[in-house]
Amino acid sequence: MIADVQCVVLDCSEPTELAQFYQALLGGAVNQEDRRWALGDDWATLHTPSGLVLAFQQVADYTPPQWPDSTRPQQFHLDFGVADLDQAQEQVLASGARLLDEGSGERSWRVYADPAGHPFCLVRH
């Protein structure tokens, strides 16, 4: 095992509004303190009673998916928690991932694409 699921991240235009929608549906706490994420106007979270964390990321000029139109596909990515970013990176790259954004040395996450091109992040615990 390389990682554990930290949260599922959905792109949107209004992160807090969407977090509140899912809170009404699932319960839980919007923007609960969590050392893994910095909250702001462009990022919101929902910690659900089941333990699942949903995150909502603001995207400029957001275009929502159009089901089942493949020209406007579903938009989300997974965050996976790891103890050691460098070691986990070696393992995911060896498994077929591609590095998309290594970021700066101080940043606690890196962005990759799975073999089918779906983005995911490794996030330091």
What are the domain boundaries of the chain? 4-124
What pLDDT is stored for residue 125 in this prediction? 85
pLDDT, residue 84, reads 94
Candidates 3.90.550.10, 3.90.1150.10, 3.10.180.10, 3.40.50.1000; CATH matching 4-124 = 3.10.180.10
Positions in the chain whose pLDDT score sits under 70: none
The pTM of the full predicted model, rounded to 2 decimals, is 0.80
Alpha-carbon distance 48 to 15, whole Å? 16
Supply the pLDDT for residue 98: 93
DSSP 56: E
Backbone angles phi, psi at 117, to 5 degrees: 95, 0
